[in-house]
């Protein structure tokens, strides 16, 4: 491993980091700027400093910054530069992990749909892929370069790729090494001079396949710290020992339980690392929220979309409040570094409990949803080809009798559902096919010729890890009605943001129940800006907005039963809650809870 020049504020020494020539223990925590409202960054960073951390780490999601090729957003939640400046203002260092693949339980692992639908072989030496990567990294490094530590900024380390040793590229060791070297060359050519790292799970196979000799190799694990560090040292005899993803919790899938870990066990593993002089990045220090339609998914035979909450059983909960694990970790850190006092208190508890009725509801089938595109083939276009934003719905409609003659009970069939399709007959919901259930068909009841059939096709989150990374979304394969291919249909992307503005609360027009698919709105009076927790337990399945801010998905399937509303989107006085409800709610009410409701655990 090549040692970094000693002139850097943070350098790689023979057995540890050096800060201005003196030994330095890396105490870092993961905090993803894109999962936290920008006006709450300072609060979360103040808590990181109060914990005794000297560094925070963040990924950079390519698809959020560049939803279209040639674009690089730096506004709002995409303000990477603003976040790094806030890190510096808090007196902390920063580790930047731009991927270009990030995993992170994030939609498509951070890769843009325009990239994966182009047919390139991602994470390989495919020229089309590398050209796009070079553009993205160039834009990221334009933000990072002037904020490096040797120029007075907070950035002390930059990671190359992400758990590359675990990805099945289908190429040999030489090609994998050449790919990593290309990323290193692009990074250095862009003026990044701080030490570069890689991360892999500490197995012999993954470590051998995921790094280069001149890079600092770090590990990702959640237990057996002593054994993992020994494996790391065997692969890299000198340099700092670092666990750059110390998993202290886990993410949740819809229909599962809320994952938690033992506070005592996690604290003991932290002690095991720090007592050996190993640096650590706690994953997650603060998990935050998969706002909007940004959650990822796993699929190892059964599709499992990640929930909206990214609480992760972290040191700060989803709302940014210290947990018992925070205080246990603070006690451990205090034995190895100076810990400031006191811990800031910025979250009044409990949150206000409020209630209101929905006062406007319009069936989705009757709403304008955009231009209709004629489709005359035997297979519908996938969502990727329609260039819809991640998570948005596509409506496929046809008039019964124009492409198939049967009007009795008929079977509707599809090759594969990715990821939901809700079937309506003349505006009435018949049912929903779910990918995780491996659903393929649904019976259409007797109906007259001329009846309208609508399919609402949903992307519930793209796979972020493994061989199905980058797969297309929508209805895959031919659509069959009574065994005959469907033709002469229309396809219409549904703009969620435009939809949310189509329904406004109507005072005195209370709604008794929600019959989905329906767009509904309610007025909620709040005394002032404060964190809120929407109670979703009475709703079915859908998406919610608060004053136009997309909170994310909800589902009675659980485990989470609340949606976090960050205080900066709450106004004093009148606030509007909007939901796109696909199933139904027997009581059309909006209520808030005094706290998060993340669901049952295994315990």
**Residue 66: how many other CB atoms lie within 10 Å:** 21
Q: Are 410 and 451 in contact (CB under 8 A)?
A: no
- Tell me, rounded to whole angstroms, the distance of Cα 174 from its chain centroid: 32
Residue 86's SS3 state is helix
What span, in angstroms and rounded, lies between the C-alpha atoms of 310 and 482?
Answer: 43
Dihedral of the alpha carbons of 298, 302, 303, 308, in degrees to the nearest 10: -70
Listed in order, strand segments (DSSP E) in 124-253 are: 155-159, 196-200, 216-221, 242-247
Q: With the C-alpha atoms ordered 168, 116, 299, 418, is the resulting torsion angle positive or negative?
A: negative
- String of DSSP letters for 500-561: HTS----TT---S-EESSEEEEEEEEESSS--EEEE-TT--EEEEEETTEEEEEEETT-S--
Token pair 């796979």 in the structure block, residue: 463
- Could you tell me the two tokens for 256? 């599962």
- Please name the residue that has the structure tokens 């609402």: 456
- Concerning whether 245 is annotated as a catalytic residue, the answer is yes
Nearest Cα residue to 37 out of 78, 9, 90, 8: 78
- Between the CA of residue 577 and those of 27, 131, 356, 500, what are the distances in Å? 40, 43, 10, 10
Q: Give the 3-state secondary structure of residue 32.
A: coil
Residue tagged active-site, from 57, 105, 161, 163: 163
Point out the catalytic residue in the list 57, 161, 245, 523: 245
The 3-state secondary structure of 473-517 reads CEEEEEEEECCEECCCEEEEEECHHHHHCCCCCCCCCCCCCEECC
Query: Token pair of 261, please?
Result: 């870990």
d(CA 197, CA 212): 9
Active site residue 602: no
Structure token pair of residue 140: 């990221």
Per the CB < 8 A criterion, the answer to whether 519 and 498 are in contact is no
Phi and psi at 260, nearest 5°, equal -135, 160
User: Any idea which residues carry the catalytic annotation?
Assistant: 163, 245
């Amino acid at each position: 491993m090549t040692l970094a020049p000693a002139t850097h504020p943070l350098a790689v020494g023979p057995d540890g980091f050096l800060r201005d020539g003196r030994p330095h223990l890396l105490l870092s925590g993961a905090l993803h700027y894109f999962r936290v409202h920008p006006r709450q960054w300072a609060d979360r960073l103040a808590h990181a400093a109060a914990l005794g951390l000297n560094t925070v780490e963040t990924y950079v999601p390519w698809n959020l910054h560049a939803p279209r090729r040639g674009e690089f957003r730096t506004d709002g939640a995409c303000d990477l530069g603003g976040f790094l400046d806030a890190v510096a203002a808090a007196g902390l260092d920063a580790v930047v992990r731009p991927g270009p693949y990030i995993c992170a339980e994030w939609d498509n692992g951070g890769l843009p749909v325009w990239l994966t639908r182009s047919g390139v072989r991602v994470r390989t030496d495919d020229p089309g892929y590398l050209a796009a990567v070079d553009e993205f990294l160039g834009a990221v490094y334009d933000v990072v370069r002037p904020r490096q530590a040797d120029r007075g900024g907070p950035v002390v380390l930059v990671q190359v790729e992400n758990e590359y040793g675990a990805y099945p590229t289908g190429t040999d060791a030489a090609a994998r090494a050449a790919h990593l070297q290309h990323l290193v060359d692009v990074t250095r050519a862009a003026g990044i001079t701080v030490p570069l790292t890689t991360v892999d799970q500490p197995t012999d196979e993954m470590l051998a396949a995921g790094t280069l000799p001149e890079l600092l190799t770090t590990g990702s694990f959640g237990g057996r710290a002593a054994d993992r560090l020994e494996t790391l040292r065997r692969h890299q005899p000198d340099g700092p020992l670092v666990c750059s993803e110390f998993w202290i919790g886990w993410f949740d899938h819809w229909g599962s339980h809320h994952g938690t870990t033992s506070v005592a066990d996690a604290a003991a593993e932290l002690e095991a690392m720090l007592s050996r002089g190993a640096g650590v990045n706690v994953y997650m220090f603060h998990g935050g929220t998969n706002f909007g339609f940004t959650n990822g998914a796993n699929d190892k035979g059964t599709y499992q979309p990640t929930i909206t909450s990214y609480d992760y059983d972290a040191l700060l909960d989803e709302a940014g409040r210290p947990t018992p694990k925070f205080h246990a970790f603070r006690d451990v850190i205090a034995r190895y570094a100076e810990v400031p006092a006191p811990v800031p208190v910025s979250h009044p508890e409990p949150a206000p409990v409020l209630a209101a009725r929905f006062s406007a509801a319009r069936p989705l089938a009757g709403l304008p949803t955009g231009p209709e595109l004629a489709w005359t083939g035997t297979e519908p276009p996938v969502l990727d080809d329609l260039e819809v934003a991640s998570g948005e719905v596509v409506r496929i409609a046809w008039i019964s009798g124009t492409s198939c003659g049967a009007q009795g009970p008929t079977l509707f069939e599809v090759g594969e559902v990715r990821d939901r399709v809700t079937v309506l007959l003349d505006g009435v919901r018949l049912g929903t096919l779910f990918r995780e259930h491996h659903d393929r068909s649904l019976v259409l009841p007797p109906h007259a010729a001329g009846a309208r059939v609508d399919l609402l096709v949903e992307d519930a989150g793209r796979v972020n890890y493994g061989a199905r990374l980058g797969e297309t979304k929508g209805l895959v394969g031919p659509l069959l009605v009574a065994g005959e291919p469907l033709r002469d249909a229309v396809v219409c992307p549904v703009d969620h943001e435009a939809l949310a503005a189509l329904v406004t609360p109507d005072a005195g027009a209370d709604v008794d129940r929600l019959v989905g698919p329906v767009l509904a709105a309610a007025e909620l009076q709040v005394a002032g800006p404060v964190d809120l927790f929407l109670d979703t337990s009475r709703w079915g399945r859908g998406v919610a907005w608060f004053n136009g801010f997309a909170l994310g998905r909800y589902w009675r399937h659980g485990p989470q039963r609340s949606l976090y509303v960050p205080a900066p989107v709450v106004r004093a006085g009148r606030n509007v809650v909007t939901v796109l409800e696909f199933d139904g709610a027997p009581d059309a009410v909006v209520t808030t809870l005094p706290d998060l409701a993340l669901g049952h655990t295994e315990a």
